[in-house]
Every structure is written in C-alpha cells, then in structure tokens.
Amino acid sequence: EIATMVAAMGSVWRRISFARRMFCAVSERKVAANGAMLHVATSGTQGPALICMPGAMGTAETDFGPQLRSLCDAFQVVSFDPRGYGQSRPPRRTFPTDFYQRDADDAAAIMDALGHKSYNVMGWSDGAISAVLLAAAKKQATEKLVIFGGNAYMSASDLEAFEATRDIASWSQRMRDTHLPVYGDELQPMWSDGAAAFACAPHAMLRAVRTAALSPELRLTVY
C-alpha cells in the first residue's frame, strides 16, 4: 500500500510539474539593441539564463514557443524576433554580408539590457550560425552552446535544394501555416531577398564559423 501511495504521489507530482511548465507566463517587450528596437520574449525567474536564437524568417514564438513555455522551471528563457523579422519590424529585414554577426551582436545587446552577465546559448538554423558567433564574441559570458539545423557551408546540391524553395508555393503546408500569419503578403518578397543573399554568398556561413574564436570548452571543427 505504501509503495502504491508513493507511486501515485509521484504520478500526481509529475502531472503538476508538467502543467506548470505548459502554462509558463511569457512576457513580451521591446528592447533597444544596437540602434534597433527588437521584440523580446522571456519566461522563468530562476535558474541560469538561456538565449534562444531563431532561424531564417523565424521569431521567438514560431521557433522557440515550446521552449519558452516548457523550460521556465529550470531556466530564465529569452528569445527574440531578429531585426526585420516578426514584430521587430519595421523596417523589413535586410541581408548585408555580416547579417549573421549582426544577429549575434543584437543577442548580446539584449542579454546585457536584461542584466544577464552569463548565459547559455541555443541556436536553430541561421540562428545556429549566429549562436556560434555570439559564443565566440562573449566567451566569458557563455556557459554552454547548443546548436541544431545550422550550416557550415552550402554544397552545390544544397544550393539546388535551396533554389527549389524560392517560391513559397513550393513550401510545405506546415511552413506556410507558420509564416504566413506573421508576414502575410510580405512573406514572398522577404524570402526572395534572403534567398538572393544566400545565393550570392553561399560561403558566408563557412567564413563566419571558421573565424569564430570559440573557447576550448565550446570549440567545434569545421571541415
């Protein structure tokens, strides 16, 4: 009977803990970063800080909504709409040759503005590349680095696959359902601008990541 009671109590606690994570309050605000006003989302009030960096066309909500709502028990979670994306408009996104570094610098400015002296960094897709640059630039502040879906370079086959996505009509229904509510009629021209930038400088990713001087604890090898 005691074992059954303990098991039942454990089950109840797990459900309560899960419910708490699923109903984390997400706060939204504008934060000044390097001359831009960026839309920032935060959750959690205790534990180490975690900055989540969205990918191409992504926002805090589209790319890291689940993390904002499920990691707040253990982390102070921060994400943002990169400049020119989502609610960090106007103006519309531009793609200078250093836009990966620009996003990294913006993330660092956001964390400084929020008072986080040290933090973990998580990046997805384009955000993974910028996350490497952030970790390299802010060695003393960066505790851990997690990246997924990033690129070190683009091969000929990658470029062909990329070209096939230039027309958003070729996107999956899930991708259109994710981004059309955010951008509406601006989605196609914005994506075309980004696609043109990638096509003109396919090795910008490689140069950016290779020149990133990561601390030994975070270092990765780019082939």
Give the chain's domains with CATH numbers: 19-210 (3.40.50.1820)
42-46, 54-58, 192-196: lowest mean pLDDT where? 192-196
Helix (H) or strand (E) holding 111: helix 99-113
Rounded to whole angstroms, the Cα distance separating 209 from 136 reads 9
User: Could you tell me the two tokens for 61?
Assistant: 């909500």
For residue 111, the model assigns a pLDDT of 98
For residue 13, the model assigns a pLDDT of 45
Higher-confidence residue of 102 and 211: namely: 102
185-201 b/e (C-beta count within 10 Å ≥ 16 → b): eebeebbeebbebbeee
Judge whether 132 and 123 are in contact, CB under 8 Å: yes
Does residue 194 carry a pLDDT above 90?
A: no
Specify which residues 28 forms β-bridges with.
Answer: 41
Burial zone of 202 (CB within 10 Å; 0-12 exposed, 13-18 middle, 19+ buried): middle
Token match 């205790």: residue?
A: 46
